[in-house]
Structure 1
Amino acid sequence: MNKKMLLLVLLCSVSFFALQAQYNFVVQNGSASVYNTLQEAYDNTSAGDTIYLPGGSFNFPSVDKPLVWIGVGYHPDSTAATYFTRINNPVNFSGNCDNTYLTGMHFMSNVTFGTSGQDVTDVTIFRCRISGSLTLKYNNTVEVLLNDKVSECIIDGSIDAGMGSNVIIEKTILKGTLGHFRNSYMNHNIFTYGARNSGSGYSFLLSYCENCQVKNSVINYYSYVNWRADVYGSINNNFLNNIFAGNITFPDGTNTGSYNITGVDLSTVFENIDGNFQDFSYLHNFHLKAGSPAAAAGMNGADIGIYGHTVPFKDGGLPVTPHIRSVEVNDETTNGLLPVSVSVGAQEN
């Protein structure tokens, strides 16, 4: 990132909290332009442009073109100097949004890709939190090659691929069901839900999924008599080197599994779980505690869970852009100017 772009990104993050003025949104398309509203910034983009969002609370526009969206982060502690980038409304990306890239934002509601008859492909969602459900494909009647990737995210709801294939879910903390995936790959995740909803309802890890591989993950799903909480309506999926809270057995129909560890008390796995394991908390510590059964139990001797990947989950969830560590604003002006001191740290990955 060049110096001019870095300065504009800093203005984005500092403007509201430091200067108590209007927000600034930067659009980068070779040169950089600054706008006062997100809608105005979006209206002035072309396909492939990048929008930098500051910390603050916003509504997304209706999105009908492929863009790169970069917020300042979702984690409250990591964004103390700027506030996190919060998206308040449900967001829909139309079928014209192939190659969309999202990072550094907390979506407070559902995120949906595609419209009737037009799917979105090649989507990347990196270091975001979604406090709703994620729908990667508009309907589930036809199998489509999606080529999507969800990495280092926190998903508080379910993910439905709509019979989409070649989707990667990695290093992600998910409460909810993976539905209608085809030929997809789930690696080094934590699945926190415990199978049963209130009353007589049930929830499942995989629902109507086919030919998927789940490996190196911690799975809180367990079974009741005559119910299989790991799979429902799913065939030909393979579970490798996972830890299950329940006493899961394979084969389960045409679903297979090898080198899984079952019946595990998850309190023996992680450093700290603050309260209810099923509901995400920033006070949870998903690093493995000493003697954890997940240590070196993954494929090729890797640790199971979000930190066992060769490029592990990054604490704090910051996007790969310079990070504002602190902002100091002088109470008095000097020569008519308001002195502002900003401390910035580079991000290696």
Structure 2
Amino acid sequence: MKAKLLLLAFTISCYQVFTQDLIAVQNGGDPIFYEDLSEAIKKSVTGDTLFVPAKNYVVNDTIRKELHIIGEGYDLTNNLGATILSSKNNTTPMLVLEEGASNGSITGIRFSVNKSGVYSRNIFSVTELNNYLIDRCFLSLHLYASNSLVKNCILSNTTIQAKITSVLSNNILVGNGYALSKCSIRNNIFLVMSDRYNSLNPNECNIDNNIFPPNYRIWYPVNCSLRNNLNISLNGVSGDNFGSSNFDSDLVLNETFINYTQLNGIDNNSANFQLIANSSFKNAGTDGTDLGIYGGRFPWKDGSAPFNPQIIFSEIPGTTDENGVLKIRIEVEAQKN
């Protein structure tokens, strides 16, 4: 009996070592494991979920089916590491989303920085998608999608075009160039001062509860509603725009948040984007919650770990105790949606 248990312990231990660095593809049954992410994407079928462990992957793949890709997070300071996707040539998207990819999702991925240009953004959708989710990622994005949601991400150079309203909510925007059409833009933080065409360029958008640097100039909004935002001005207008209850402040960003001085504070986790204790922007949103990423419907999750449980500690002894019991200790960690 003990020999069998020892064999079981050895098997469990080997299985864990063997699978912890492999990509698991699952759709209700037993998982299938792959070493190569491109192969996993190619061989998966509609509705599959791909669990992608923390390490570096080089990909330039096209997705034409509903897939749910879940990494272990983008935080480089995480004890588990980060799931990082890079491009083979640094000029083309890591993932191109085409017809058939609707209803899919990408969560917990860090995309490496590509060269500038709309066609080199990390994720690029060619045809209109519907009901797509991008959550807790670090990326640049060109998304043509309706009824979709981008939340709790760190974003640069992003374009979202929608026929039916999509939502950009509770994100940190760290670069220039945001062309957004028919979007609800809520509870985001814009960290880089921009002017003219490098700033936010919205068309038929609802813009609520966001925080901008002082004197941030939104570039030619067209038929937009702007409510309860901090520090905005308009660089030209077109069509009918509506604004109410917006706030002007002389406070720079490092006087608005508990701790923020420069962009690298995002990556080393020294930044804290909670509003200072006596801030007049607490509970000042259209829904009675704070301005910025900790208010609204999708409050920021510190650490930005994916929602699925992650193994943070495991202890599997090589022998049983005096009663023939093999005591296995496994600790997991997850954040709520």
TM-score, reference length from structure 1 = 0.76
Task: Give the match for residue 264 of structure 1.
Answer: 250
Equivalent position SS for 2:129 = coil
Aligned-pair CA distance for 1:329:
8.8
Amino acid at match of 1:129: F
Aligned-pair CA distance for 1:163:
5.5
2:280 to 277, 287, 293: 293
* 1:135 matches 2:142: yes
CA distance in 2, matches of 1:52, 1:194: 37
CA distance in 2, matches of 1:204, 1:169: 16
- How big is each residue's C-alpha offset from its partner over 1:103-130, in whole Å with a ceiling of 9 and x where there is no partner? 0111114233433xx3222211011111
CA distance in 2, matches of 1:235, 1:296: 28
Task: Give the match for residue 30 of structure 1.
Answer: 28
Task: Give the match for residue 125 of structure 2.
Answer: 114
2:100 to 85, 96, 103: 96
* 1:344 matches 2:337: no
* 1:320 matches 2:307: yes
Note if contact 1:164-1:180 (Cα within 8 Å) is conserved in structure 2: no
Note if contact 2:63-2:97 (Cα within 8 Å) is conserved in structure 1: yes
Residues 311 and 112 of structure 1: CA distance in aligned 2, closer, same or farther (over 3 Å): closer
Equivalent position SS for 1:158 = strand
Point out where structure 2 has 5 or more consecutive residues left out of the alignment: 1-12, 88-93, 114-120, 321-326
Correspondences of 1:53-92 after superposition (within 5 Å): 53-60=52-59, 61-77=61-77, 79-80=78-79, 82-89=80-87, 90-92=94-96
Equivalent position SS for 1:299 = coil
Note if contact 1:113-1:120 (Cα within 8 Å) is conserved in structure 2: no
CA distance in 2, matches of 1:252, 1:167: 22
Note if contact 2:218-2:235 (Cα within 8 Å) is conserved in structure 1: no
Aligned-pair CA distance for 1:313:
1.0
Give the strand-richer structure, 1 or 2.
2
Equivalent position SS for 2:38 = helix
Task: Give the match for residue 6 of structure 2.
Answer: none
- How big is each residue's C-alpha offset from its partner over 1:75-110, in whole Å with a ceiling of 9 and x where there is no partner? 133x31x31111112321222311120101111142
Task: Give the match for residue 154 of structure 1.
Answer: 154
Q: Which ranges of 4 or more aligned residues in structure 1 deviate by more than 6 Å? A: 277-280
Note if contact 1:158-1:178 (Cα within 8 Å) is conserved in structure 2: yes
Amino acid at match of 2:128: D
CA distance in 1, matches of 2:191, 2:172: 7
Number of residue-to-residue matches in the alignment: 301
Task: Give the match for residue 205 of structure 1.
Answer: 200
Aligned-pair CA distance for 1:326:
3.3
Aligned-pair CA distance for 1:328:
6.4
Amino acid at match of 1:108: S
* 1:222 matches 2:215: yes
